[in-house]
Structure 1
C-alpha cells in the first residue's frame, strides 16, 4: 500500500518517516507535501491508499485538501495530525469520514504505529471482501450469460430434440420437465423518450428493468428472457402449469414503474420443448395486430377467433390502389382522397393484410405522388425520402394512411389555389375580349355574369381583386384605350363616339376629358 505525508513542519515529517517501520507494515511512502496545493498535485499523480494530513496547512487547509482529494480517489483513508482537537474540526472530519486523529503535542510513535496498523487491517479486510464479492458476481454473471446463450440458441431452433433441450436446460438451472410453456413477445411501442431516440444502451437498461419486474411478478413461473434490442423486442418464456401468469400485469407494471408503453403477443401453451421457435413466431404474429389495433396492448392467440393473415393483397384492395394511382395521374386529388378512405376501410377489417405488405403498398402510393409532383410545372412540394420515413415510421396503419392523406390535401390546396387563379384570369380575359369585340354595346354586369355562368357578385369581386378597379371603371378604361387608338389612326371625334356606343358626342367628351384630362378635340389637335 502507498502512503503520503502532508505536513508543513519538516521535523514532524522526518520523525514520522524514520520512526515507523513502513516496510514491515507493507507500506511505501510515495510522496511528501508542505502545503495543501502541493499535496493535491502529488495526490493526483500517486493516488495513495493512506494519507497522514496536518490540519493547519498553508495555502489550503488539511480538511479542504481531504475534501478535494476524495473527489480524485475515494478509496484513500485519512489520519489527521493536529495540535488541537476542537469540536468544529471533529465535526468536519466525521463528515469527511476521517479514520482517526493524532495530537502532535502528545504524539507517541507507538500510538501512531498502532493507528496505522488498524487502518491497514481495515483496508485489507475491505479489499478481501471486494475481491470475494467480485468473484461471486463474476461467477453469477457467467452463469447468467450461459443461461442467456442457451435460451437464445433454443429460441433460434439450434436444439430440435426435446430430451436434449431438457438436459441443456437442467445444466443451466432451468426446470422445464412437465412444464406447460407459453411464448411471449414484448414490443416497445415507441423508440423515443422525451423526443430523443433511444440508444442501444438505453434499451439494454430498459430490458434489464423489464426482466427484473417480470421475475418479481412471476417468480418461479418465469423460465427466461431473451432480448433483441435491434428491433426493440424481448422474448419471454413462462410456465403456466402451476400458476396462470397474466401478461397484462407486466404491461401495467412497466407503464407504472418505468413509464414506458409496451405491447405483447402471446402464443398457445405447449409442452413439447422443441416448439418454442414455432410458438415465438405465433406470438409475433399475434403482436402484428398492434398495427391495426393501436389501443390494445396484449394479443393472445385464440384458436377460434384468431384471424388468418392475408399473405397477398386482396383483389378489392388492388382495385382501390389502382384507382388512387389513376386519380393522381389525372390530378383529381379529391377523388384520390375519397379512394384512400375506402382503402383504409378495407384494410381495417379482417382478414388483415400483413403489415409489411401494407407498407410496400404505401410506398407505391408515395412514389406515385412524387411522380405527379415532379411532372407538374408548379410550386408543389415533391414528397422526398424524409416524408416517406415520417409516413412509415408510425407503428399503426391509420397513421401511415393519414400521412398520405396529408400529402394529397396539400396538393389539393395548392392545385385548387392555382386553378382558382387561372379561372379568375380566364374570366377577366373573357370580359376584355367581349368588350373589345362589342365596344358599341352598353355593358351590363348581370348579363355578362350570366353568360359566363358565374354570379354578378363573384364577377364584381373578381374584377376588383384582379384589376384593382370595379367593373364600370374597367369598362371605361378599355373604351378610353380604344378611343385613343381610333383617333390616333385618323378617326374623327364624332365617329369615335358612335363606334363606342355613345348616344351623343357630349357624353363621350365628358367621359374622355374626365379619364384623360383633355377634351377629344384637343387630343386630336
Structure 2
C-alpha cells in the first residue's frame, strides 16, 4: 500500500478530499493532512510519502517549493497538483517535478482525481516491480561472477597450467591478471560463527560482503584478482611487476580495506601475506600451504597483518604445569574470583604462546581441564552443566586462534563459577540450608515466602529477616535467581518456547517472567535464545 498526504490551505478542500476519496480501495494510506507546504515538509520529511496531493499557492512555502524538497530526499515521490493557477509557467515547473496530473480546482471532479490516483498507483507499482527485478538480476549477475572467480581459483589450486594458458583462461572469464609477479594474500574472517550470530547474517553473506568491500577499496589502486575460497577465507592475488617497490603500498591499502570492513560490517579480518610467485605453479604451492596449514595461524593476533611462516612447534610436555594450573583455576571457580581467574588464564596463555605448542595439544589440554572441572562440579551441583561434553569438544575444536581460545575459556569458566556460586549453600543456620535445598530441588514449582516459612514452622517475617541476614539477599530474589538460571539452561538446550518455560518454572504470568529475565540478563528470553 502506498502512502499519501494532502496539502492545501483551504480547509474545506482538505476535509472534502480526505472523506470523498476511497483511499484504501485505491491501495493508498492517507497519513497526513496539512495546511501549508512548510507544515507538510516539517512534519513529513523524516517519513516522506509516496504520493502528494497539493495546492500551489500557500503561505510560507508554496506547493512547488515543497515538492522540490520532498523530491530531493525521495526522488521517486509522485504528485498531483490541485490549483487555481492555469498559467503555463506553473504547469512547466510541475512537469519538471514529475507531477502526474495538474488539475484546476474550478473543474475538479472526484472521479478525475480517483483516475489520476489509480494511474499513479499503477505506475509506482510497475516501477517498484522493475526496480526489484533489476536488483534480483544484478544480484544473480554478481553471484554468477563470484562463481566464475571461485571456479578459476579452484582450477588454479588443483590443476597444472603453464603461465600463458593460465592467463588466457582467466581472460576468457573476464579476469585480467597478466603480470611478471604475483603477491598472494589470504584474508581470514575472524570468528565467523560469532559474527554471523551478532550480525544475524549467514556466514556466506558475510564473506560475500567482506569480499565486495575489500575489492572496492583495493581495486582503486591495484591490479588484482580476488575470490572467496570458503565462508571464512578470501584469496587475493596482487599483480606486480616490481614486488619490492609495491609491498609498502599494498600493505597500506590492506590496512585501509580491513578498516573499511570493520567500519561497515563491525567485524575484523586477519590478513596473511604469502611468498611472491612468478607462475601458476608457484602460486598453487604457496596458496595450498597457506590454506592447508591452519595451525600456523593459531598464534596470530586477531585483526592483524602477518606473513605466512611455518612454525616449528614445541616438543616440550604441555602437561608439565597442568597440576598447578588446575589447582589455581579450581580455587578461582570455587571462590567465584573473576579477576584472579582472568589473570591465571592470561598467564597460562602467555606461557603457551612462548612455548609454541601445537594447537591440537593446546586444545586437548583445555578439554582435559574442562572435563576435570566439570566432573567435580557435576557432583556438587546435581544439575546440568553449562555445555554438554559433546558440544564442548566441537566448540573447542572449531576455535582457530589462541586469542579466541583464551576469550572463550574465560567466558565459559566465569559462567561455571557463577553457577556454582548460585547453587552453593554458605549459611550455617539449618533453617536457611533447608530452604535453599528445597528451592534447588523444587525449582520448577511455585515457591512463596509464606509457603516456605510454613514448611519450616517459622513466622514469615522472621524467616524473611533470617534469610536476608544469612545470605545477603531476600528469599524471593534467591528463588528467582535459581529459576532464571534454569530458564537459561532450558533456552539453550530444551527447544521449549518462552511460554512453556515460564509455565514449567511455576510463573503464572508470562509477562512477569519476561520482565524478570530482561532485568537480570539485559535482554528478553527470545533474544537470549537467538543470541546463544
TM-score under structure 2 length normalisation: 0.47
TM-score under structure 1 length normalisation: 0.47
Larger radius of gyration: 1
